[in-house]
Structures are given as C-alpha cells and as structure tokens.
Chains A and B, each alone.
Chain A
Amino acid sequence: EVQLLESGGGLVQFGGSLRLSCAASGFTFSSYAMRWVRQVPGKGLEYVSGISVSGSHTYYGDSVKGRFTISRDNSKNTLYLQMNSLTAEDTAVYYCAKVVTTEGYYMDVWGKGTTVTVSS
C-alpha cells in the first residue's frame, strides 16, 4: 500500500525552528517529486514547497521563501521540511504529497498531516 507518514510537528515558540519528516512506503520514492502543502485550521490549502526527484531542484511558496528548506534522502525514503524563524502564521497542518510528474504535475497520494503550532 502506498503510504506517506508525516512526523515532527508540535508546539514551538515564536522565532523557533522545527524539522518535519515524511516517511514514504509502498512506492519507489526516488522516482517521484514531492511537495509540502499546509492548511491553517478552517482555511484553504496552501502550497509550501516542492522538490525534484534527485533533490537538485526546489521550489517554495512566497510566504516561506528564505525561511523553509525542503530536502530528501532517497536512501531513507524520507522527505524533510526544515522550518526556521517561525511565526504564528505558520501554525497549520502540514501535509506531504507524492507528485506525478507527467504533464499534470498533480498530487496523487497525501499523508494524514502533522500539526505545527507556533506560540509565544
């Protein structure tokens, strides 16, 4: 079964850092691009970041550029999101998603999410 399992969420202080992980199973992780998407409770989906198969290309939403870093370890089938300089606006559920890199670049598998709460 194809599965994504996020971890690393929790309560962090304003200005602090946190690293999220996403463990993949049931598919050849090294053959797929990956993304992070977040959702503030009660709000819509927001693209956070994406990474290519090899990790050589990374992409970020405007609200996290310069603060968040996406990476992957294909030997460990794991995706990461390093989050620095966190603010209250980063409080959200963070989902990782597998990207099908045909012309559509759509997300066909999503994890259940991990919750990040930034508080002073």
Chain B
Amino acid sequence: QSVLTQPPSVSAAPGQKVTISCSGSSSNIGNNYVSWYQQLPGTAPKLLIYENNERPSGIPDRISGSKSGTSATLGITGLQTGDEADYYCGTWDNSLSAWVFGGGTRLTVL
C-alpha cells in the first residue's frame, strides 16, 4: 500500500483532457513539494513536473501540475496516443524521512 494514493487508471479520447490525482497527508504533500514522473512502456521514469507546478525544459505546456492542501493533481490536455504511460507522483515524507511515491496511474488514450 503506497503512502500516496493515485487512481490505478484513467482514460480519455485523443484531444481531450485528463487529470490524475495524488492524495497524501500533512507529513508529505501537505508540507512538501510534489513532483510527477512519466514512465513510457519499457523505459525509465522521466520528470514531468517539479515543485508542484513547474515544467522542466522540453515539457509542453499542455502538461500542468497543481497542489492544494494534502492533494496534488497532474493535468494533461490535448491528449495524444504518445501520452499512454504510467504516471507517478512523489514527495518527501517528514515522518518517514524518506521519499514516497504514489502507486502509479496508467493513462489510456482511447
């Protein structure tokens, strides 16, 4: 059971928008920044969002992040088949003194 809770799967049609939630507590999301990672099939994870809502260079602005209280959300608009991947949220947990990940969400573009 992961410390951060994500839905196992989400789906949407090409061109549509999808959001992926990540729920935690005051010991993690509530007091620390959240980052998001994309893992395409058979590849290593890749940073998508850092410090709640910042995009690394090369990440398009149709990808966004937000945080409110003890939850964070990843948003992807203009869905493409190339967005089909697993998405993970992550943050530091002050009680565990360890990094924690969500269980991951598989995005299917129908």
**A contact set with B: CB distance below 8 Å:** 35, 37, 44-47, 50, 59-62, 95, 97, 100, 102-113
Contact = CB atoms under 8 A, between A and B. Distances in A.
21 contacts: A45-B45, A45-B88, A45-B101, A47-B90, A47-B101, A50-B98, A61-B98, A95-B45, A103-B33, A103-B51, A105-B99, A106-B35, A106-B50, A106-B90, A107-B37, A107-B90, A108-B50, A109-B47, A110-B45, A111-B44, A112-B43
Contacts, number: 73
Nearest to B101: A45
A59 B98 CA distance: 6
Given A45-B45, A45-B88, A45-B101, A107 B51 contact: no
Contact of B47 (A103, A108, A113): A108
B103 interface: yes
Nearest to B49: A106
Given A45-B45, A100-B50, A105 B33 contact: yes
B96 A62 contact: yes
Contact of A104 (B2, B51, B104): B51
Nearest to A107: B47
B100 interface: yes
A47 B100 contact: yes
Interface in B43-95: 43-47, 50-52, 54, 56, 86, 88, 90, 92
B24 to A, nearest CB: 14
Which one of B35, B56, B103 has the greatest number of beta carbons of chain A within 10 Å?
B35
A97 B35 CA distance: 14
Given A95-B44, A100-B50, A105 B103 contact: no
